[in-house]
Amino acid sequence: FPRSHATAAPLPWHLSMQCSLLKWVVLQFLFLFYRPFVCSLFPQNNSIKTSKYNFFTFLPLNLFEQFQRIANAYFLFLLILQLIPQVSSLSWFTTVVPLVLVLAVSGVKDAIDDFRSTLCDYLKGTFSCRLKDDKWMNIQVGDIIKLENNNFVTADLLLLSSSEPHSLTYIETAELDGETNLKVKQALTVTAELGENLQKLTDFNGEVKCEAPNNKLDKFTGTLTLRGEKFALDNEKMLLRGCTIRNTEWCFGLVIYAGPDTKLMQNCGKTTFKRTSIDRLMNVLVLVIFAFLALMCFILAIGNGIWEHDKGYYFQVYLPWAVGVNSAAYSGFLMFWSYVIILNTVVPISLYVSVEIIRLGNSFYIDWDRKMYYPLNDTPAQARTTTLNEELGQIKYIFSDKTGTLTQNIMAFNKCSINGKSYGTNLSVNGEAHTEKVDFSYNRLADPKFVFYDHSLVEAVKLDDAATHGFFRLLSLCHTVMPEEKKEGNLVYQAQSPDEGALVTAARNFGFVFRARTPETITVVEMGETKVYELLAILDFNNVRKRMSVIVRSPEGDLTLYCKGADTIVYELLDSSCGSLKEETMEHLNEFAGEGLRTLVVAYKNLQEDYFQEWHKRHHEASTALDGREEKLSELYEEIEKDLMLLGATAIEDKLQDGVPQTIETLTKARIKIWVLTGDKQETAVNIGYSCNMLHDDMEDVFIIEGNTSEEVLDELRTARKKMNPDSFLDSDDIIKFENPSTKSRILPEEQANGVYGLVINGHSLAYALEGNLELELVRTACLCKVVICCRVTPLQKAQVVELVKKYKKAVTLAIGDGANDVSMIKTAHIGVGISGQEGMQAVLSSDFSFAQFRYLQRLLLVHGRWSYIRMCKFLRYFFYKNFAFTLVHFWYGFFSGFSAQVGQFLCSFRCVRAACTFVGETFTLATLGGSAGCPLEWRRYGAGYIPLLTQPPFSSFLPPVSVVGTVECGLAVLHLP
Amino acid sequence: MAVNYNAKEEADGHPSGVGAPGGAGKSRKPDNTAFKQQRLPAWQPILTAGTVLPAFFIIGLIFIPIGIGIFVTSNNIREYEIDYTGTDSSSPCNKCLNVSWNSTPPCTCTINFTLNQPFETNVFMYYGLSNFYQNHRRYVKSRDDSQLNGDNSSLLHPSKECEPYSTSENKPIAPCGAIANSMFNDTLELFRIDNETRIPITLNKKGIAWWTDKNVKFRNPSGNTNNLTALFQGTTKPVNWPKPVYMLDSEADNNGFINEDFIVWMRTAALPTFRKLYRLIERKNNLQPTLQAGKYSLDITYNYPVHSFDGRKRMILSTISWMGGKNPFLGIAYITVGSICFFLGVVLLVIHHKYGNRNTSADIPN
């Protein structure tokens, strides 16, 4: 078996990065039978290590890490203080016990987390896709890998050869950019001839120079030197990690980047430690408390100095000064540290642990929630990060992916309008709903999964209605779908876009089965009769044309142009003879669009033989022209695609997931702003926006930003903002400020629009808008809108958009997505949610929470988020109250005990009570639904504790109990007395 | 109205694990238990006028009577206090003001006083000290509990905490430490003056310490003899004491470490002004009050110097009730809290009555 490996070990990327930035790595590859020992020197294998510790390093490393936390270090410092006898006011174990407890709990938690991520590594690495099967974590730079159909590409590969003609390889990039259509990659001719020949592959000896790992998914530059000749390498020859091989039996690839260097991983962004705002608040509070502690100790130390000077000096008859203490000032100095020990209870050391425990509990509740369990693929919700729960209740912005998150990514042919008659409404003529599915059994090639309810369409097909036949014939001919027929009659379509797939499938079920395709012919089974159409030209789709056409010659010899495209475009090209039909169809189109369906208009044109021949010749010339090919071609297309005859319109439903509109409505009511970031094209995104209730017709306006230059985008953004909030231009200081780079991190104030607006921004415009001085304009405009839809966005742009809002708005953001293209945004947002759906586990693995359906977001945010926040707040309030109540008594007592850092002995029982109440309080917090964290006994116990003090009693008045609680208190006091 | 989406398949009883991967039949559907689904019974008070107002009134109505009861009880307690420090030059004890420990012969003084009301029940006699920091950290620490508990090795090797009162003349001090060293050693005697004759009042010196202290915490050293002198062999008396610990009392069960005066002293006071139980005066018969109204005289053997640090010494006579000694604060506190609650209740009631109907129609969305 061929094994590949580079003979010259490349330096680790990070080392070499310093040497040169580009084209710095030289890989020589040879194929050897056995992996030689030098392999072990390779730093770049394909595994991604996320675990931190091993068995031996755990204790020292973990302790080191833990003592880096301020609180832990502080208590270590306290412990040291207590070992100094003159300062020690409490016995040393009063600090050691909680400290050890805290360290142990955190340590165990770290160990479990680490163990978990070790498991993750293992699971990640168990794919196999090699000629000699191996775990894909063992793949190294320079290896040659054989991939088969539907294999997942696991490293960035240079395509060498494939089974298809011209060494084409089809890939699906859903994981990378969310697009589900197929893309084509082609190998170099020199490598293509290696074919499947293992011997040749083994002997292959070349050198690849490539750029340093980067995150540009659409760019690659490098050269291959083979037998002294140089070949340019570009992105067309690369198979990136995250793609899936489709329609290709096998292909060979050479690993260029592996593991963390792959473009996908580079796009994932840094894993940052996420903190909640409560964490930050807590840190501030703890610092304030430290300051407060220092102040208290200072006051008490001063007090001690004065006391020792005024009273203690004379009281020496009964209590001589300690050895070594010869002045009141020195005594005061020592007492400062003693009080630091005594009053340390005000610094909430256990707070961090308790907070962690509560969060863990809340996470379990998320895991256990049956209302977030999806039975169809047996997926419960999962809180993968246990530290962010309460932030869920604070979300202001949701950034959502579209494909697979809002939608199921299943297209269904739903309705159509043929020759002025609308089909597919669920209501029959007399108003009753059709519940019976159309029976397609007359067609043995029908797709059993296809569902249609309108029987009249089948009737029309069966009645040989010419327009209906023409309509479906068009659908079966005008597309770029690839058929796959592994078994006789078992057709599978590979569509570049799911819309096309849905249309061809519809035609198939109504009796126009697209069976096979060669570059020159299309085979269609029309109502059981096989016909071979000669494919003369494909006038392919692009974003400007927004239509595609085919020119075919039927077996009867008729020349026809079939065209389908966006209604606005195709309507311009229609022949004037179809005036009334145009109006009727337009009515239907509006109806379809109103329901959020994706519509296409279909039309045809019969061509004259001589005219076509002449055109065809010009077409051939244009397509081989060296310069201005694109323009020439589109001119030709324009020329022939006119005076079309309208056939009808189709309506496809991009099926939303269950409950998406309702969820979005509820979230909107909660004043959460939803931004959709999708790699899809604009029309699709806008359609989805309408169908899931984000955009609706009673919005004042939906702005579309699609400028192609920085100025255009700026202009469009300002126009939009002027309309929404004309006042925002009155104070022009904001614009001046943003041009000043020093004020970058300021938070923008909330602005109010004068109505409900939507904003749609295109990928290339977004690229301009995200640049330097435009980003502020973007944020201001976008945040005025209720709904923002960004289309044609790259994974990195998604992250940039999230980053932008994080930067300028004091808001908590949540990103939700399902594919690898969402990973960066999931990691960037304050909270990342992964939909564990069909598209692999990349998103879930980098997310903080995961579940199977978008609609569970509502429960996660509005129920669990709220509860977590309420519980945490109650707990914190209670905790601080408890600490202060306990500590301020000591402070107060200092004034009565000569500032001697004496703990009131009867107060010792407070410790027990406090410990008990802490425990009880936490249990309450976890256990009760509303989170009643208060310990009602607390007041009485503390109250009872204060009373004997306040009354300044002689010891005997301890005897009569004030209350039952008082007795307990006194009993504890007795036990504690020395 | 908010539409809360409820998916059909979430209804209970739906066959779980449809299409579960693995097909092992083990569904990952979470258990339907009250705890896991957060359906545990919980209660949270919702504060409305209907609950808060009655609560205020009930608290008021309960606390005011309790407070009155406590206050009356406290007021019925008879208490008489004399300061005998002698700082005032007219005081009989002024001559003893600068007395030192161990002065021989001891300085004595007599103070006459009159009780205007009879003390009906058992009377507790206290001595009180002011400005005496028995609660100072170094003072509180300065003792050896195991020595006091009769541990023989601690007896001869007192704990370091006792410094600088752990050894004297190279002998271990028993009992060691500053607390023991500073033990109150005035002697107080009480006489009723009846027609110019001084009738001594019996002062009971036993039963003044806590039972746990007398029987558990404090023990004399053990040995094969009952002779305390022998048991304390090898130790020396605290510096300030005139006589060693085994000569505190003539009775064997009130001598040595288990001397009750000593035990009472060793239980340090929480505050710098404190009183400690000195003697008990028991009611003799039911016909006469324990202490009749009339003239009394207090004979003081003034040994304990407090003037150097501005301390004060007092003698207190007091009866007790079920709630302990005289303590007007508690009753006042109850009455105050109760009154405030009642008052607030009235104020809130008025506010509620006048303005309360304004936003009852506020729609709380579901």
What is the pLDDT at residue A838? 60
Pairwise CA distance, residues B209 & B49, whole Å: 52
Q: Tell me which residue has tokens 């159309």.
A: A438
% residues pLDDT > 70 (chain A): 76
Q: Give domain A141-268's CATH architecture.
A: Distorted Sandwich (2.70)
- Ligand-binding annotation for A403, yes or no, is yes
Predicted confidence at residue A840, as pLDDT, reads 60
Q: Look at residue A71 in the predicted model and tell me its pLDDT.
A: 64
**Whether B364 contacts chain A with CB within 8 A:** no
Q: What does the pLDDT read at residue A209?
A: 81
Read off the pLDDT band of A434 (50, 70, 90). Answer: low
Closest CA to B113 of B280, B293, B302, B320: B293
Mean pLDDT in chain B? 85
What ranges make up the beta strands (E) of A348-438? Answer: 382-383, 395-400, 407-418, 421-423
CA distance B353 to chain A (A): 30
How far is it, in rounded angstroms, from Cα A492 to Cα A498? 13
The Cα angle at residue A375 between residues A369 and A376, in degrees rounded to 5: 150
User: Between these two residues, A111 and A17, which has the higher pLDDT value?
Assistant: A111
Contacts of B20 in chain A (CB under 8 A): 377-378
Q: What is the pLDDT of residue B124?
A: 92
Residue A247: C-alpha distances to residues A149, A251, A476, A726, B206 (Å) = 6, 11, 20, 55, 104
Site of tokens 């294999």: A151
User: Which residue ranges make up each domain of chain A?
Assistant: 141-268, 394-406+656-726+749-864, 410-425+437-655
pLDDT over threshold 80, residue B221? yes
Chain B nearest-CA residue for A959: B324
Query: In the structure encoding, which two tokens stand for residue A679, read together?
Result: 């790699």
On whether the CB atoms of residues A798 and A821 are closer than 8 A, the answer is: yes
- Of chain A, the end-to-end C-alpha distance in Å amounts to 82
Residue B20 predicted with pLDDT over 50: no
CA atoms within 13 A on the CB side of A803: 17
**Facing residue for B137 by CB, picked from A89, A370, A929:** A89
A141-268 shares its CATH topology with A410-425+437-655: no
> Is A818 known as a binding-site position?
yes
Using DSSP's 3-state secondary structure scheme, residue A495 falls into coil
Query: Taking a contact as any Cβ pair under 8 Å apart, which residues of chain B between 215 and 274 contact chain A?
Result: 267-274
- pLDDT value for A453: 80
**Relative orientation angle of helices A936-950 and B328-355, to the nearest 10 degrees:** 140
Residue A925: which of A915, A935, A940 has the closest Cα?
A: A935
Known binding residue A512? Answer is: no
Chain segment A623-663, per-residue pLDDT in tens: 777 677 778 888 888 888 888 888 889 988 877 888 888 99
Higher pLDDT, A594 or A538: A538
- What's the rounded mean pLDDT across residues B180-203? 91
Question: Does the beta-carbon distance from A320 to B164 stay under 8 Å?
Answer: yes
In chain B, which residues have their Cβ closer than 8 Å to the Cβ of A960?
320-324
What percent of chain A is modeled with pLDDT above 90? 7
pLDDT at B357: 66
Amino acid at A409: N
pLDDT in tens, A51-63: 556 677 777 877 8
pLDDT 10s digits, A642-651: 888 888 899 8
The reported pLDDT for the residue numbered A877 is: 84
Confidence class for position A433, pLDDT limits 50, 70, 90: low
B20 part of contact set with chain A, CB < 8 Å: yes
Among A599-608, A925-934, B268-277, the range scoring the smallest mean pLDDT is A925-934
CA distance B80 to chain A (A): 15
Residues B300, A475: Cα–Cα separation, whole Å: 122
Catalytic machinery residues of A: 401
Higher pLDDT pick, A285 / A497: A285
CA-to-CA dists, residue A291 to A90, A282, A283, A285, A297, angstroms: 22, 14, 12, 10, 10
Q: Give A893-934 pLDDT, tens digit per residue.
A: 889 888 888 876 555 555 565 556 555 554 444 433 333 323
**Positive or negative torsion for Cα A922, A926, A932, A936:** negative
Size of interface A-B (CB pairs under 8 A): 198
Q: Is A974 on the interface with B (CB under 8 A)?
A: yes
- B125: nearest CA partner in chain A: A956
Class of domain A394-406+656-726+749-864: alpha beta
pLDDT tens-digit map of A231-277: 888 777 888 887 888 778 888 888 888 777 777 777 655 555 667 77
Query: Under DSSP, is residue A45 helix (H, G, I), strand (E, B) or coil?
Result: strand
How far lies A132's CA from each of A122, A135, A159, A744, B241, in Å? 19, 10, 18, 54, 96
A754 known member of a binding site? no
A143 is in an annotated binding site: no
For the cut 90, the answer to whether the pLDDT of residue A298 exceeds it is: yes
Read off the pLDDT of each residue in A486-496 and give the average, rounded to a whole number: 74
pLDDT digits (tens, 9 = 90+) for A316-368: 888 888 878 888 889 899 999 989 888 877 877 667 767 877 888 888 899 99
What pLDDT is recorded for position A26? 26
Taking 70 as the threshold, does the pLDDT of residue B366 lie above it? no
Q: Which two tokens stand for residue A624?
A: 């081989």
How is chain B split into domains, by residue range? 50-77+326-355, 79-320
Contacts of A872 (CB under 8 A, 6+ apart): A278, A355, A358, A359, A389, A390
- For residue B1, what pLDDT is reported? 37
Residue A125 has pLDDT above 50, yes or no: no
Q: Say what the pLDDT of residue A857 is.
A: 92
Mean pLDDT of chain A: 75
Q: What does the pLDDT look like over A75-119, one tens digit per residue? A: 788 888 888 877 776 767 766 776 787 778 777 877 776 665 454
Q: Which CATH class is domain A410-425+437-655?
A: alpha beta
Inter-residue contact B123 to B325 (CB < 8 Å): no
The pLDDT of residue A115: 66
Residue A863's closest chain B neighbor by CA? Answer: B38
Task: Give the number of residues written for chain B.
Answer: 366
Q: Token digits for A93?
A: 């174990």
Between B69 and A890, the more confident residue is B69
pLDDT band at A180 (very low <50, low <70, confident <90, very high): low
Q: What is the pLDDT of residue A15?
A: 28
Flag the least confident range among A49-63, A395-409, B275-289: A49-63
Structure confidence at residue A957 as a pLDDT band (50, 70, 90): very low
Question: Quick one: average pLDDT of B300-305?
Answer: 90
pLDDT at B70 over 80: yes
- How far from A51 is each of A28, A69, B347, CA to CA, in Å? 32, 20, 63
Task: Return contacts of A483-488, CB within 8 angstroms, 24+ apart.
Answer: A483/A514, A483/A515, A483/A516, A483/A517, A484/A247, A485/A515, A485/A516
User: Looking at the predicted structure, is the pLDDT value of residue A951 above 70?
Assistant: no
User: Between residues A754 and A177, which one has the greater pLDDT?
Assistant: A754
Which H helix or E strand runs over B62? helix B49-76
Single-letter amino acid code for the residue at A528: G
Q: Does B137 contact A338 at a Cβ distance shorter than 8 Å?
A: yes
> Which residues 191-210 of B are in CB contact (within 8 Å) with A?
210
Q: Could you report the per-residue pLDDT of A694-753, keeping only the tens digit for each?
A: 888 888 888 888 888 888 888 888 888 888 877 766 555 455 444 444 455 567 777 777
